[in-house]
Structure formats: structure tokens, C-alpha cells
Chains A and B, each alone.
Chain A
Amino acid sequence: GENVEQHPSTLSVQEGDSAVIKCTYSDSASNYFPWYKQELGKRPQLIIDIRSNVGEKKDQRIAVTLNKTAKHFSLHITETQPEDSAVYFCAASLNTGFQKLVFGTGTRLLVSP
């Protein structure tokens, strides 16, 4: 089955710096790749997603890139703010996307003022 690897496990940056989190997946049939942000004790919330027919997607300070050949995708956060501090999970899904999400192990991002 699908396996998603994520790194780094923790990332500390200064406010205003950029942060990059990387994920790799194993199943070339996966075609939907969401990123979730989880604040302490809260539910995971979707912040951005990308499908396999697109190489890059951007939403304000957040962008995601996808390399299907290498089977990896990355989250880029620019101009980080303290409120970006959270755990970020990447995930992958097969076929239509109306199937299970396979999550990465998470990255704890700490943005220091």
C-alpha cells in the first residue's frame, strides 16, 4: 500500500523566514496530495492541496510543488508568522480522492518572533 515519508520532523525558523517541508510517496497511482495544519489539541485543517495534473499551486504565503516523476511534493511557507506554528501533515490519496488519506509523520514548525 501507499507509504508517505515526511521530513523534517521539527523545523524552527525566525519570523519572516521561509519554511519548506518535504514529503515522498510510494504509490505512483496516488493523485491527490493535501496538506493539513494541526494546532495543539485541535482538528487537522486543510491549508492547500494539489492534484497530479498540476505541478505547482499557490495561495498567498503558501505554495505546494509536486514532482510526479520523483514522487515527492513540498510545502513552502514564505514570510512565516508566529501563528504559523503548528504541526503540518502531508497526505496522499489514490484514484478519485474519495478514498483514505495516508498521512506523513508530521512536521512540528516553530516560528520564533
Chain B
Amino acid sequence: EPEVTQTPSHQVTQMGQEVILRCVPISNHLYFYWYRQILGQKVEFLVSFYNNEISEKSEIFDDQFSVERPDGSNFTLKIRSTKLEDSAMYFCASSGLAGRNNEQFFGPGTRLTVL
């Protein structure tokens, strides 16, 4: 069964550094998402992406964040200057064609630790 994949599984960085989290969505999916989960808390929406542009973003997704689909398979989340409070598990998700099942499939996550 196709799965969403993410790399790296764990990223440790210094405060103020830039990080790029990578995702490969399921190949025929058209809608892509980033969520984050601070340890022990609920999953929070960051941004959704469709047709090469952001379709919605949350108040968390400020100017320090950006997303990109640089080629036909990868979907990246960049944090320009990381803060301590950016430490969390970041999940990528994708969903399929219009009119089909709405299910969002989640990747295994990248644990970001900002020191």
C-alpha cells in the first residue's frame, strides 16, 4: 500500500538555524498538508497546498515558514530561523482526488529538536 514518507526522522538544530523538512506524498494525490504536534499535545494544522500554491494556513504558519513543491514528488517545509518553541513532531499528509475519499494519509513524522 502506498505511504507518505518523510525525511529526516529526527533533526536537531541550533536556535536561529534554518531547517528543511522533506516529504514525499502518495504519488497520485493532489492535496498536501503540514501539521505539527508538540509533545503530549494535539495535532495542529499548519498549511495546506494545492495546485502549486498555499490554499490555507494557520496563525502558526508565520513568515518564518514556507512550503515548496520543487519537483513532481517532493513537498518541503522550511523554517527560516528556528525558535525553541518550534520543537515538535512535524507530520506531512496528503489526500486524493476530488469526489473520492477525503482521507488524509499521514507520514511517519520528523521530530525537530531546537536547542
Contact = CB atoms under 8 A, between A and B. Distances in A.
Given A89-B43, A104-B42, A98 B31 contact: yes
Interface stretch (A39-47, A55-63, A65-73, A76-84): A39-47
A93 interface: yes
B109 A46 contact: no
Given A32-B102, A44-B106, A100 B58 contact: yes
Contacts, number: 54
Interface size bracket, B side? 20 to 34
Interface of A: 32, 34, 36, 42-46, 49, 89, 93, 96-106
29 contacts: A32-B102, A34-B103, A36-B43, A42-B108, A43-B107, A43-B108, A44-B43, A44-B91, A44-B106, A45-B106, A46-B105, A49-B103, A89-B42, A89-B43, A93-B102, A96-B102, A98-B95, A98-B98, A98-B102, A99-B55, A99-B56, A100-B33, A100-B45, A100-B48, A100-B56, A103-B44, A105-B41, A105-B42, A106-B42
Given A44-B106, A100-B33, 18 more contacts: A34-B102, A34-B104, A36-B106, A43-B91, A44-B91, A45-B106, A46-B104, A49-B102, A89-B43, A97-B102, A98-B98, A98-B102, A99-B48, A101-B45, A103-B43, A104-B42, A105-B41, A105-B42
